[in-house]
A and B are shown apart, each in its own frame.
Chain A
Amino acid sequence: MTAWRKLVVVPALACLSLAMGGPARAEGGAASEDAVKAAYLYKLRNYIEWPPRARAPGDAMTVIGIVGADEVAGQLQAMPALRDPRKAPVTVRRLRTGDALSGVHILYVGASYWTRAGPMVAQAGALAILVVSETEGALAEGSMINFRLADERIRFDIALDTAEKAGLKMSSQLLTLALSVARERKK
């Protein structure tokens, strides 16, 4: 092996071996995207008004269904506020293909699952469930709030037209913070 090959191969092998022996996922990594997204999901209920058919007035419990984003689900479930299910304001339900969405208020679809999420998203719209995603272009395919990175921060775009069609109302505070808001063309 020439010196040149060594130069490329040795560090590469070192990295590979670390990758195999290292932690499998971002547990305990630097303050992560997933933690910030989990925090958003936890807080979103304060900025959304559901129609009475989806949520009885006075019903304090928010159910967040999560599919294709195990890390975010794990982060949420690890929150101290969620430990006591009787007092917790939020419950997390990990979903799989085919699971019923009744009772869910917020559906979060991870990037790895989005391409397969069509039927679930369509069902969510009919049930007045807030659909949140992290996939470029998802707003055109039924998502209502889509996370994206902007300037090393997690920001989001909103499809207000889709949300309104599902009977959801969004607070102006949320709309102000959105990088963009797609509204229905009235004129």
Chain B
Amino acid sequence: MAMSRSATAFDSSSSIRFSLGTLLWFLALALPAQAAADPDVQELADLSLEDLANTRVTSVSKRSEPIGAAAASVFVITGESIRRAGATTLPEAVRLAPNIQVARVDARNYAVTARGFNNAFENKLLVLIDGRSVYSPLFSGVFWDAQDVVLEDVERIEVISGPGATLWGANAVNGVINIITKAAGASHGVLASVSGDREHSVGTLRHGGALGDGGRFRLYGKTVTHQNVLRENGLSHPTGYRRAQAGFRADWGQPDEGLTVQGDAYSGALHQLGTADITIAGANLLGRKTLRLAGGSEVMAQAYWDFTERKQPNAFIEHLNTVDLQFQHSLSLAARHRIVWGGGYRLAMDRLINGPFSFLPAEKNLHWGNVFIQDEIDLSANLRLIAGAKFEHNNYTGMEFLPTLRLAWKPGATSLAWGAASRTVRAPSRTDRDIYSPSNPPIVGGVPRYGIAGGPDFDSEVANVLELGYRIQATPSVSFSATAFASDYARLRTLEPNPNGPGAVFLNKASGTARGLELWGAWQVVPAWRLSAGLVSQRIDTELAPDSRDASGAFGLATTDPDLHWKLRSSYDVASGHSIDLMLRYYGKLERPAVPAYRALDLNYIWQINRHLELSVTGTNLLDAAHVEYGPAPNRAAYRRKVGVKLVWRM
């Protein structure tokens, strides 16, 4: 059933452009490596134990991520890949994934999505840092200017394009970004790093050590300063920022049987046009316990508290305290069934002081409760069926049903074909339901005449998604992945004339479709040289209901998504201790506000001077004097060519 429906979807969407050249390029990529040299075990055995432990093993990501494991479109950015790319912010690190769309809005804001609907207030992507959601219930998006980690301590970033609601809940509509930091035992010793370019400087200090009882810990502090960037017209774009953050992580035992406690605290000042600085602050504390029970089943329990404060002059002041509890149990039944079930509860206490527009009521407690179960069934030796469902309750729309059905077929040891059908929703945020503008409306006949009078009848946005994927480790040095998706969106948000009074209200009078193809591959040409590439070809269409009189079309429902974006990367070890990475990306033009297509080339050269010291030089946006990525001309930010330096000292 799922298969036949998605085949129909393909037939109906043959209009997507895709160049023959690109296809040939991918075929060329799939050619087997020829010049690979024999790894010399003797040479490795002659190394000291420390050096052996520090020897980088190439083309391993496919084995650490078993090829048969995930029947979904998953790309893993390794910590090593971030280091070699020279990324200095979280969104720039996320940009390394081919299946994600990143448009820089200004010095501190980013529009990040997968599979379209990109926007500075993007609201269909879920982002987690070590299991803690950083998705703001205020607008169901992410304040990227408040999220940070020590990039050197990132183990990997899992980027899942497509629905992840059955495991991660409502709002994982178009994708999930899972930022996972290293266990404390993997960040031993002292690390000090400074990086700087014309606009941006980062300083980091981290210390990792052992606790008396077998546990490991690390402590870190980090400061970031970013100057204002320039607008396209040469004037200053006042979106620079300063931020300081500190935190810790402690781990006891193994990943599957142990305890993790971690926390962070930060504060910052963000420039904003025409007002005093926005000030932000936050803190969080998380504990996670994993247990292995007799019989081999595993239990995970996690609790966290998260506080964020955002004082945005001429807008609002928000104090948000979130408490989240989760429980998960994985077990095998009758040899064929691997079951994961669990539940969770989240309470967010939102306290606002309103400015020119209002969130009403200003003080509101939001809650989400869920139970889920997923069963992975071995139908035969190489065929698996994964069926799962989550029931999630929220205080705006009540119960939401989030099911998925996936089929994974493993024709051989190194390849996997899969298909999936999922339903997912974006539950309302405070912006959809509770926003009133202006704060002091004229009152006529006892009725306040709001311009925007909330969205009391706004319902969840819904997406039904079909996916087909294929992944193969064609030879030890060549891997390739392809995913085709067809998503149908219903009840998308529009701003309509208020049927029950003056002004306008948010309603769900639009629908949409997204069709596309995600391709990526890697080729270890020789041990010292790796090529990788990724491409997304997509088409996002939205349509208003016949009775819609949408007034938000000025912002567009989905008019800032490129039809095509791709990236190419070359990672080359010039000599022992010297490496150079080149990253070229292309983004097609955006429709409204119109943004021209652009290409950007970044370069990072790393010189490992000795065991303790590493120097890197980064060139960003090397192809032209400046390019723009988002927003209307001529006041949008433009990103100029720049050169940066980074020094890392490890002890």
Contact = CB atoms under 8 A, between A and B. Distances in A.
A, B in one complex: yes
Contacts of A28: 36-38
A75 B251 CA distance: 35
B39 A32 contact: yes
Interface string B466-496: 0010101111111010101000000000000
A56 interface: no
B49 A33 contact: no
Nearest to A179: B185
B57 A31 contact: yes
Interface in A26-54: 26, 28-33, 35-36, 38-40, 42-43, 47
Given A7-B23, A30-B58, A31-B58, A180 B254 contact: yes
A40 B47 CA distance: 10
Interface of B, helix, strand, loop or mixed by DSSP = mixed
B415 interface: yes
Interface in A106-162: 136-137, 139-140, 149-155, 157
Given A12-B482, A153-B53, A35 B292 contact: no
Interface string B32-53: 1100111111101101011011
Among A19, A26, A137, A150, chain B packs the most CB atoms within 10 A around the CB of A19
Given A2-B14, A151-B186, A154-B57, A78 B478 contact: no
A3 B537 CA distance: 13
B320 interface: no
Given A30-B477, A39-B45, A179-B183, A4 B484 contact: yes
Given A18-B32, A139-B254, A152-B57, A29 B477 contact: yes
Contacts of A85: none
Contacts of B26: 11
Contact of B41 (A2, A75, A151, A180): A75
Interface in B609-640: none
Nearest to A40: B52
A35 B41 CA distance: 5
Interface residues of A, number: 59
Contacts, number: 195
B185 A7 contact: no
Given A4-B10, A30-B36, A81-B42, A151 B155 contact: yes
A179 B53 CA distance: 10
Nearest to A38: B41
Contacts of B11: 2, 4
A30 B41 contact: no
A182 B18 CA distance: 54
A47 B53 CA distance: 14
Contacts of A179: 183, 185-186
A181 interface: yes
Nearest to B27: A14
10 contacts: A2-B14, A7-B517, A18-B478, A36-B44, A38-B41, A43-B52, A79-B41, A152-B56, A152-B58, A152-B79
Interface of B: 10-11, 13-14, 16, 18, 23, 26-27, 30-33, 36-42, 44-45, 47, 49-50, 52-61, 63-64, 78-80, 155, 182-183, 185-186, 214, 216, 251, 253-257, 292, 412, 414-415, 468, 470, 472-478, 480, 482, 484, 517, 519, 524, 526-527
Closest 4 CB pairs of A and B: A29-B476, A39-B44, A35-B39, A31-B39
